[in-house]
Amino acid sequence: MFFLRNKLHFVVVLIFLSSCSSMNVTEENVGSDEVKTVKASSARSENINYDTMAVFANATVYFEFDKSSLTSKSIQTLKSAVNALNENSSINITLSGHADERGTREYNLALGQRRAEAVSDYFVLNGISKNRITVKSFGEEKPVAFGQDETSYSKNRRVEIN
């Protein structure tokens, strides 16, 4: 058992007061620190939608640092995505938001979500049913570029549409 110290471990502190000094006397047991390793099942469904892949190959929009607003370039990309979605009413899409590595991981997870939501909002405003859209974030956990520079960072601040 891990840290079963309450039962196994006892500390006896006796303070001896002599004429001019005191001494601490202690006795204790080292607690066990056994651990059980768990393997997460890799049964993650990839959910690859090949119809969608064909239509939206490379459909990715990019963002500024700590921003989730759509740039004019992003809007161009999204306009063609809206057309494709209107022409293929049977397909659903997943929007995955991402952030660059600067800043804290949880804040970046939330930021990736905001970016994906911003794209989702654009689709909904342009007549795409919310039911067809799944939104999620990977924060800074799944970069596509690995440098410590703005070129890499700008590639990682993205929402992937597939």
Partner 1 sequence: MKKFLLLVCFSGFISSELILEITQGTEDPFRVAIIKFNGDNKATSEIDQIIKNNLMRSGEFKIFDNDDLLSLPKDEDEIVFNDFRILNIDYLIIGNLINESSNIKAEYKVYDIRKGSKVRSSTVFGIPNKNRQLAHYISDGIYEEITGIKGIASTKILYVTQNKDYRLVVADADGKNEQILLESSEPIISPSWSPDSKKVAYVSFETGIAKVFIQDIASGNREVVIENSSQISSPAWSPDGKFLSLTMYQDGNAEIYILNLKNKNLTRLTNHYAIDTESTWSKKGSKIMFTSGRSGSPQLYEINLRKSNARPKRITFEGNYNAKGAYLPNNEGIVFVHRANTSFQIALKYFDENFIRPLTESQMDESPSISPNGNVIVYSIKEEGTGLLSGVTLSGAKFKLPAAEGSVREPAWSGFLR
Residues engaged in binding partner 1 (CB under 8 A): 1-5, 9, 20-42, 44-45, 47, 66, 101-107, 109-111, 113-114, 117, 120, 135-139, 141-142, 146-148
CB of 110 to partner 1, least distance (A): 4
CB of 127 to partner 1, least distance (A): 19
Nearer to partner 1, 51 or 141 (CB): 141
CB of 87 to partner 1, least distance (A): 27
Element (H, E) at 150: helix 150-156
DSSP state of 69: P
Give all strands of the β-sheet with 93-98 in edge-to-edge order.
60-62, 158-161, 93-98, 133-139
CB of 99 closer than 8 Å to CB of 156? yes
Nearer to partner 1, 27 or 87 (CB): 27
CB of 27 to partner 1, least distance (A): 5
Instruction: Find the Cα–Cα–Cα–Cα dihedral 43, 47, 48, 52, rounded to 10°.
Output: -170
DSSP state of 132: G
Q: How far apart are CA 52 and CA 6, in angstroms?
A: 57
Q: How far apart are CA 15 and CA 158, in angstroms?
A: 64
Nearer to partner 1, 41 or 72 (CB): 41
CB of 146 to partner 1, least distance (A): 6
Nearer to partner 1, 5 or 155 (CB): 5
CB of 162 closer than 8 Å to CB of 132? no
Nearer to partner 1, 12 or 57 (CB): 12
